[in-house]
Structure 1
C-alpha cells in the first residue's frame, strides 16, 4: 500500500489547483482543468486497481496460506494468559474451542435486540475499498462512457459502492452534489441531465422506490424542472419528462436518459425480486451491475465480471476469516465440519461462516451459496437463499428461494399482474389464526392489478402444494390452513424499509427480509392492505 501512495503522491499535488479552480471558475460547461482532473482520477484508478488486482491474484493463488494469515489475525485478540487458544494457530484447535453460533432471528419482543454477526470496521473497510476499486475498473472496461464527467448520477442518499471514493477518484462520480441527502433532490438533479450513461442506487429495492415515487410525483417534478427549482429553467426537459411518463413504466429509464447503459446497485440479500421487476418494467433493456455482495454490514463477495450474468461473486481469502459449512440434506441441524475456501466443490451448497477479531465468534451468517466455478484457488459462488428467511409453522420448512419461485409462478397466473415486492408472516406473529390452523399471511405489492379475487388468492396455495409435498400433506390433514394473500397499497414497502432502517441493530446496507418475525412490522403492512 505504501508503494501505491508513493505512486499517487504527484497526482495528489493537483488537489490545491482543483480547489482553486472551483473557487474561481465562472460560466457553464467543463473546462480544461475539469478534464485534467478527470484524467488524473482515471489514471489513479488504473494504478490503484492494478495494485488491488495483483494483491487479489496473489491471495487467491495461495488461498490456504492467506486464510491461515487471516486466522492468526483473528486470534491476536485471544492470546491472553488464560485463553484456551493461547499460542495456537491450528485450524483444528480453533474449530474445537470455538463452536459455531448463529446470527439469531430475535423472538417477537418489542424490546428485543437482534444478535448480529461480528463485524470488523477495519478489515471490512479494506475489503470494501478493494471491491470499490476493482468494481470501478471492471465497470470502466465494460462501459467506458459510464465514468465520463457528468455521466453518472446516484438517486439514493447512499452509494452502491461499498467504500466512499476519496480524492482524486470522486471526480469519476460527478452526477450528484457531494453531501446531498434528500432523495427527491437527487432524483430531480438526475432528471435534469438527459445524457446520463449510468444510474446508481444503493440497492435495487431502493431504486424500485425511486421509480415508484417518480411516477407518483411526476407532475410536481416536471413543474420544478420547468421553473428552474433548482438551477436554470428547463421547460423542454420538463415536457420530455411528462411525455415519457405518459407512456407508462415499461422502458421509462431509457426514454428519460436515451444514452443510459448500466444500472449499478449493491447486492445485499433479498434483492432479486426488485431487480426482476426493474428489468421487466422501468429499466427494460439495461444491464445491471453489482460491485459486491454485502452481508452483516460488510463485503463478503467481489464481482469482477460486469459483462457476465448477474449474481456471480468471488469469495476472497483475506480477513475476516470465511469458512464454508456444507448444507445438509433435508436441512438437518447436525452441522458438518466447516471447510476452507480452497476445499469448496463445484455444484455444492454451503452456508457462510464468518469470524473476525472483534468478538472472536464463528458466526453462521445464514447466507447459502452454490459454487459455480473457481478463480485460482477460491470459489466463485452464486447466493441462493438465507436460512433465517424460511417459513415453518408445522415443520414444513419452506425456504426463501422456494417460496419466491412459487409466488412468482402464482403471480404469473394473475392476468396483467407484475410482482414488485412481498413479505411473509407466520400467522402466530399476527395472532390471525382465530382458532383455525396456522397458516401464512402473504403481503404483496403488484403492478397492473388493483384487486385480488379469491380465485387468484387460491392459486398461491395450490402452487405451494405442487412445489412442496410436505406442505401438501399438512394441508390435506388440516394441520396447516390455506395461505392468505393481501395486496398492499403504494408506499407500503417503502414504509417497511424505513422502519427497518430505523432499528439500531439494522445492518448497512439493509438486506430485504422476506419473512417478518416482529409483530409491529407485520402490522405496519397490515394497516396498508387495500385488497
Structure 2
C-alpha cells in the first residue's frame, strides 16, 4: 500500500514538468487540463493515504497501552548499543527507573559574542532537537541534537509513520471536510517561505499564475503573487506571528505593492487589481483580508507556543470573519499533537500513542514535585494538567519539554488536550512564579480597559536582565505593541499591575509588602517585534519549532525591544 502511494506521488511530481514542456504548444487550455489532472491524481492519492492513516490512528488509540509499548520498543531498538540500558526488556517500570527525567536545556548566550543564538544544524518540519540537562530551560534559544521519527528500526522491525506526515494527511482531510471548497486548484496561497503543514508534500491546488517566479521565497514576492489572485479560498502562513508581520507589511507597503500590480510584476499588468488594493487599504485594517479576497474562508497556521496573541489580533482586525485552523501543535520535540477538529475553537489536539513515546508528568499546585511519577496516555485524567515528556530514540533520553496541557476529553483511550502554558515562560523575581497563561489573562484584561486598543504583541523582561531596578524593588518590564492607541497614560499603565494583583493573589501579597515593584509598561512599535523575530530566525536552529518567546532572558534580545520604545 505504501508503495502504491509513493508511485502516485511520483506521478504527481512528474506532472508539473510535463505541463511546462507542453506550455509552448498550447499555453491555455492544455495547461489547465494538466493542472486539473494533477489535482485529481494528487487528491486521490492523498485521500487514500489519509484514510489509511485514520484507520491506523483508530486502531492505535483503541489500544493505547499496547501502542505505547510498541513505541517504547522502537525507541529502545533505535538507541545505539552502549546507550541501550535494558538489554531487550521493554518493561515500562524498568524503563522509568533506568532513565530518570531530564529537562530541556539550551546553551547560554555569550554576552560578548556576536551570535544571539547557538549554532546548530537546520531542522526540517516534524524534526526538532533536544539537549538534556538538569539546568533550567531557556526559552530564547533552540535545542539540539535532532529528534528523528520514522526511521527504519535497526532490527528490521515495523517502522512508525512520522508524526509530521500523519498530521499533514489527517489535517488535510479534516480541513477538506470542514471547508470543502478550499482545496481547489489555485485556491490557496502561502504568504511565508515555509508552509504550516508539518510534512512537505506537493500542493497541486496552489497553481501559480503565468509569469510567477517558481520557488519564490521572498515574503514580499509571495504576498504580491497572492494579491494577483482575487479568488483565493485559503491563506497559509507558518505561524500566526509571521502572518501578523505580513499584514503589517501589507499596510506599510501598500502603495508600492499597488504600483507593482499595475506595472505587471510579475506577470501581466493588473491596474484594476491595483485600484482594488488601494480602495481596500483606505478602509482600514478591519476585514481587510475579505475585502481583498472575497471568497476567503479559512486561515491555516501551525500552532506553537506564544501564538495566541497574534491569532487574537488577526481575528479582531485583518482576518475578521475568517476561520482559523492549525493542523498540529509543534513543541520542542517536534509535532506532538494532531488536530482532528477544525470546527472547534481554541485548538484541541489529540496526543497520538505512537513514536516518539509521550509520557505525562502531573503538574502539582505550587510547583512540580520532583518525586512525581509520569503516567501513560491511557492513564490521563480529564481536567488535570500535565507536562509533556518525550523520549528521543537517538540519545534515549526522557526529556521534560516544559509544555503544559490540560486534558479536556478523550479519543478512544488517548487524551484530547489544550495547551495552556510553557513552564519556560514563567515570570518570577521573588519566587511568585506567574505562569504564561496567568500573565496573558491579566494583560488581556488590562488592554480591554485601554480605549480603542488592540494588542498585537508583547514581551516581558525581569528587571534584573536589564539592570533597570536602580535600587528599587525588582519588577517586570513589559513591552507592548498596540493598534488603535499611540500613547499610554500613567493611569493606563497602572491598570496592568492592578489586573495582575486581581488575577494572582501571591503577586498581590508581594506588592503589598513592597517585595516586588509595580510592572512597568512601555509602548513599542510592531517593527520592534519584527526585529526580534528576525534576530531569532537568524539562528540556524530556528526553523523548528516556531515558538514565540514571551519572556526574554537575555539582555541583548531585551534591548532590541528597549531601543524601540515609543512611550
TM-score bracket, shorter-length normalisation: over 0.9
2:35 aligned with 1:34: yes
Q: Aligned equivalents of 2:12 and 2:236: distance in 1? A: 28
Q: After superposition, where does 1:163-242 map in structure 2 within 5 Å?
A: 163-166=199-202, 170-174=203-207, 178-242=214-278
Q: Aligned equivalents of 1:384 and 1:348: distance in 2? A: 12
Decide whether aligned partners of structure 1 residues 102 and 13 sit closer, same or farther in structure 2, where only a CA change above 3 A counts. closer
- Residue 516 of structure 1 is matched in structure 2 by 552
2:383 aligned with 1:347: yes
* Secondary structure of 1:49's aligned partner: helix
- Residue 470 of structure 1 is matched in structure 2 by 506
* Secondary structure of 1:355's aligned partner: strand
Is the 1:4–1:47 Cα contact (8 Å) retained in structure 2? no
Is the 1:118–1:355 Cα contact (8 Å) retained in structure 2? no
Decide whether aligned partners of structure 1 residues 451 and 49 sit closer, same or farther in structure 2, where only a CA change above 3 A counts. same
- Residue 120 of structure 1 is matched in structure 2 by 147
- Residue 75 of structure 2 is matched in structure 1 by 74
- Residue 293 of structure 1 is matched in structure 2 by 329
* Secondary structure of 1:196's aligned partner: coil
Give the aligned CA root-mean-square deviation in angstroms: 2.0
Q: Aligned equivalents of 1:77 and 1:42: distance in 2? A: 34
Is the 1:150–1:196 Cα contact (8 Å) retained in structure 2? yes
Q: Aligned equivalents of 1:238 and 1:108: distance in 2? A: 46
TM-score by length of 2: 0.89
Q: Aligned equivalents of 1:490 and 1:7: distance in 2? A: 45
Q: CA deviation at 1:232?
A: 0.5
Q: After superposition, where does 1:381-392 map in structure 2 within 5 Å?
A: 381-392=417-428
- Residue 24 of structure 1 is matched in structure 2 by 22
Decide whether aligned partners of structure 1 residues 7 and 311 sit closer, same or farther in structure 2, where only a CA change above 3 A counts. closer
Q: CA deviation at 1:485?
A: 0.6
**Deviations, residues 438-484 of structure 1 (Å, cap 9, x unaligned):** 00000000000111111111111111111111111111111111111
**Deviations, residues 376-435 of structure 1 (Å, cap 9, x unaligned):** 111110000001101000011100000001001001111111100001000000011111
Q: Aligned equivalents of 1:450 and 1:82: distance in 2? A: 58
- Residue 455 of structure 2 is matched in structure 1 by 419
Is the 2:502–2:508 Cα contact (8 Å) retained in structure 1? yes
| Greater displacement, 26-35 / 88-97 | 26-35
Decide whether aligned partners of structure 1 residues 142 and 517 sit closer, same or farther in structure 2, where only a CA change above 3 A counts. same
Note the residue ranges of structure 2 that are not aligned, 5 or more in a row: 119-140, 152-160
Is the 1:42–1:172 Cα contact (8 Å) retained in structure 2? no
Is the 1:342–1:378 Cα contact (8 Å) retained in structure 2? yes
Q: Aligned equivalents of 2:97 and 2:360: distance in 1? A: 16
* Secondary structure of 2:416's aligned partner: strand
Q: CA deviation at 1:94?
A: 0.9
Decide whether aligned partners of structure 1 residues 393 and 312 sit closer, same or farther in structure 2, where only a CA change above 3 A counts. same
Is the 2:461–2:478 Cα contact (8 Å) retained in structure 1? yes
Decide whether aligned partners of structure 1 residues 78 and 265 sit closer, same or farther in structure 2, where only a CA change above 3 A counts. closer
Q: After superposition, where does 1:8-19 map in structure 2 within 5 Å?
A: 9=7, 12-13=10-11, 16=14, 18-19=16-17
Decide whether aligned partners of structure 1 residues 15 and 457 sit closer, same or farther in structure 2, where only a CA change above 3 A counts. closer
Is the 2:196–2:237 Cα contact (8 Å) retained in structure 1? yes
- Matched residue count: 526
Q: Aligned equivalents of 2:484 and 2:506: distance in 1? A: 33
Note the residue ranges of structure 1 that are not aligned, 5 or more in a row: none
Q: CA deviation at 1:8?
A: 5.8
Q: CA deviation at 1:507?
A: 5.6
* Greater fraction of residues in helix: 1
Q: Aligned equivalents of 1:103 and 1:81: distance in 2? A: 22
Is the 2:361–2:388 Cα contact (8 Å) retained in structure 1? yes
Q: CA deviation at 1:76?
A: 2.0
